[in-house]
Amino acid sequence: MREELVVKVNFFVEDMLFFRFIGCATVAKTLYLQLQNEPGIDVSWKSFSNHADIVHYHTFGPIAGLNRRMSRGKKILTAHSTPRINMGNIALARAINKRYPKIYRRFDHIITISRPCHDEVTAMIPEMPVTMIPNGVNRDFFRRDEEKRAAFREYYGIPDEQQVVLTVAQLTPRKGLYDFLALSRIFPDKKFVWIGGFPYGALSKDYGKIKHLKLRCGENVLFPGNVNDIIKPYSAADVFFMPSFAETFGLVILEALSCGLPVIARDIPEFHDIYGKNILYFTDREDAMALIDDRAALNHCAAAARDFTSQFDLKDIAARHVRLYRELVE
């Protein structure tokens, strides 16, 4: 019987400073930890040695570029970011977006994470080999915890009976921050909590304007920033609100559903493609206002939320990555 080949995979992501809280860094670390449990895979983290059979990149900045030039193995990039996503997210987006085709072609294989993401990438570089593998969620980790719910509410002085509307996202216009703030003014009796910070520091879109708005928002709005234990706010919340205008996947929705939360999200193709009828959609602020107060719809959504996430179980998603790694080296 032939001994199974051990594939050496090096994960690389630029997660220094505030970058460690952006979505691609979270996805990379989560997948890396799960792959440590997979047989036949020897996985390393941000190594600059050239012994890996495959280097799996999740960012393509200057440090990743240096690593790519030093590495001998097959080079894979997961397309967490696409030109469409940069608009409304970072300053100088148009200039940066022009470089994407050239950047993508520096890799041997591209992984896309949703159908809209896949269509955008393949239209840009039709000659490149591309495989679609969605993001996964650790369902053992992302589950409601009553003790953490009580602890978060007590720490921030939120009464048990007050409804908490939660958003987990970067502080940028693309994520729908202005709609979030508008709704908080309409519902002063509800607590609006936004978890997350500026993705690119002072280079983030509308950086100065958003800092100013944070100082002037109502007492029912809370900006804890980036938190060490994300299960606390997920558990403390009653509704998850995702007003983002564009995404490649929207992993936080999957995390919220895994924690049993009903989700109200903007009506965009990415969310329909991934989440279908398992979340509630709004097209304007009036829609969002109605849904936040629709107890029956919210309860119906919450009842099936966690079961839906089983098809994105991280164990299965990791196994799909392993199969791709083997195909590329065998």
**Residue 144 · residue 253 · CB < 8 Å:** no
**Residue 123 · residue 115 · CB < 8 Å:** no
pLDDT at residue 49, as a whole number: 86
Terminal Cα distance for the chain, rounded: 17
CB atoms within 10 A of CB 146: 8
In angstroms, the CA 14 to CA 24 distance is 9
Span 146-311: which CATH code?
A: 3.40.50.2000
pLDDT at residue 97, as a whole number: 80
Shared fold status for 7-136+313-329 and 146-311: yes
**Fold of the CATH domain 7-136+313-329:** Rossmann fold (3.40.50)
The structural domains of the chain, with segments of one domain joined by +, span 7-136+313-329, 146-311
Sheet holding 221-225, edge to edge: 221-225, 191-195, 164-168, 239-242, 263-266, 280-282
Residues 219-239 pLDDT 10s: 999 999 999 999 999 999 999
Q: Residue 87 pLDDT more than 70?
A: no
Q: How confident is the model at residue 1 (pLDDT cuts 50, 70, 90)?
A: very low
Helix, strand, coil shares, percent, the chain, to 5: 45, 15, 35
Average pLDDT across the chain, whole number:
92
In angstroms, the CA 258 to CA 143 distance is 6
Residues 136-169 pLDDT 10s: 999 999 999 999 999 999 999 999 999 999 999 9
